[in-house]
Amino acid sequence: MDDLTCPNCSEEDDLLGQRDGDAITVTCQKCGCVWDRNLIPRCPSCGRHDMREALQAILDKSRGTQLSIQSMRVIYLCPDCDATKLRRWLDSNTPLPPDELPV
């Protein structure tokens, strides 16, 4: 069952969340069920919980075809499934390139 579905009544829309440290306390407004949702995601491929944070650059064209970093975003990498990206991040400590370049 998904973290954003009430485990008691399967409600998906009428949910109220409140941040509480490293988790979000979710309350179902339909049946009153309360549960904690962890803020660190699971790996979509293998389901591991020990994802590692890394920065990924968001690029845009600044002049003509010149690409510049406009901002960065936090991504989560799985030590097994994203081992190459994670190693690149740990070795260089510079933002990872985006998955797709702007056209």
* pLDDT tens, residue by residue, 51-80: 999 999 998 887 778 888 889 999 999 999
Residues in the chain: 103
17 - beta bridge partners?
A: 26
- Residue 3 — pLDDT band, cuts 50, 70, 90? low
| Residue 103 burial (10 A CB sphere; 0-12, 13-18, 19+) | exposed
Is 0.75 surpassed by the pTM of this model?
A: no
Instruction: Label the pairing between strands 52-63 and 34-38.
Output: unpaired
28 - beta bridge partners?
A: 15
